[in-house]
Amino acid sequence: MSSFNSSADPMGRAVYVISVAAELAGVHPQTLRVYERRGLVDPLRTGGGSRRYSERDLERLRRIQDLTAEGLNLEGVRKVLVLEAEVERLQAELDRVITDAREAVEKTHRQYRRDLVPLRQLPIPGFRSNRAASSGESSASGGSSGSRRSS
């Protein structure tokens, strides 16, 4: 991985050697090796094979410590971490879907506004406007066109 020298994500920069990471996380370096063997952490390795931990790794180590302090064994911790990662992934997916849906609704509303024609401009078959009625074209003016006769 190239995050060892990456400055784009400061949380992901792997800069701490195992002894410093262990001290910052409040555990023994051998505990970090156990966590790595169990798949709980995956520190980056230098070209020479030395482990390097990032701030994100330290947050994970602290979470592992919290869970073990609550009584979970390492397999339980692993399962919790997997589930938390899945919840985070699903939340991000849900956020994307919500954003996409909002954008689609806004696009539809913009399209409706472009397609709508004000009622006063819309010709309606068989309907005479007020202007036509006031100019004497209506059947109420007494003309013979279209007027009904009662018998």
* Residue 62 maps to a domain: yes
* Residue 33 maps to a domain: yes
Residue 64 tokens, joined = 């592992």
Query: Domain tally for the chain?
Result: 1
Average pLDDT over residues 79-97: 97
Q: How many CB atoms lie within 10 A of CB 51?
A: 21
pLDDT tens figures, 22-79: 999 999 999 999 999 999 999 999 999 999 999 999 999 999 999 999 999 999 999 9
Closest by CA to 43, choosing from 99, 75, 29, 92, is: 29
* Residue 91 maps to a domain: no
pLDDT tens figures, 69-87: 999 999 999 999 999 999 9
* Residue 119 maps to a domain: no
* Residue 64 maps to a domain: yes
Task: Give the range of the structural domain holding residue 52, as residue numbers without chain letter.
Answer: 10-72
Q: What CATH number does residue 36 fall under? A: 1.10.1660.10
pTM over 0.85: no
Measured in degrees and rounded to the nearest 5, phi and psi for residue 52 equal -135, 130
Contacts of residue 139, Cβ cutoff 8 Å, sequence gap at least 6: 145, 146, 147, 148
* Residue 24 maps to a domain: yes
CA pair distance 33, 74, nearest whole angstrom: 13
